Amino acid sequence: MKNLSSESLGPVAFCRGVVSCGHLNILLSPWRPCKENNESLLSRMYSFIVLLCQGSITLHYQSFQILLLWYSRLSKIPTEKESSIFGTEFSSTLESTWSLLILNWDSPVEDVPEIVVEVFSAMMHIWNNKKTFSPRFAQGILKVLLQTPWHVKGKYRIFGALLKFVETKVRILFVFVEIVC
């Protein structure tokens, strides 16, 4: 933790504060009210959080905690206000989160692999409730997992979390066992 300073922790503290303590009406308000694009503050915060997760490894634990908080806040949005978040671009949010999780599922930073699985589960719960924007997302994840080498430990954690969201569980397990053995 030698590289931590108020300069590097400032964005982390700001993002965590906004995501965890921001009132829902503020989080769902337009990021730039004068612009044609009515992207909400909560949606806009996602790109900042991703930058933190892609940044310095010394901040990964805090950054992935914030990403987990972000998905937690997302899951609590009332149905009547969902349109401000779950637009057509939400499938790209899922894809970018998935890419980020792949890169960090075997992170050397203590507890980050566990947080990655928690983020994955939170993301999949939201996907499961809103399958309309990316109906084959879980099958794409399964394909990636099946093509990942057997020695990557992180894939097994994600695979275990994915099973509750894939409909053909028994058949998948047999295919998975055949590939591994």
Torsion angles phi and psi, residue 30, rounded to 5: -60, 140
- pTM, entire model: 0.84
- Residues forming a β-bridge with 30: 40
Cα 121 from Cα 127, distance rounded (Å): 10
The residue among 115 and 79 whose pLDDT is bigger is: 115
Mean pLDDT of 118-136: 87
Q: What is the identity of the amino acid at 35? A: K
Cα 124 from Cα 165, distance rounded (Å): 7
**Considering only CA atoms, which of 20, 12, 14 is closest in space to residue 59?**
12
Is residue 105 helix, strand or coil? coil
Helix axes 90-104, 60-75, angle to 10 degrees: 150
Mean pLDDT of 89-108: 90
156-166 residue pLDDT tens: 889 889 888 87
25-53 residue pLDDT tens: 888 888 766 666 677 888 889 999 999 99
Separation of first and last alpha carbons in the chain? 41
Residue 22 corresponds to which tokens in the numbers above? 């921001």
Cα 94 from Cα 140, distance rounded (Å): 12
13-29 residue pLDDT tens: 989 999 999 998 888 88
Any idea which of 11-20, 55-64, 81-90, 108-117 has the lowest mean pLDDT?
81-90
Neighbours of 75 (CB within 10 A): 12
Mean pLDDT of 113-126: 95
Residue carrying structure tokens 């829902």 = 24
Cα 2 from Cα 33, distance rounded (Å): 40
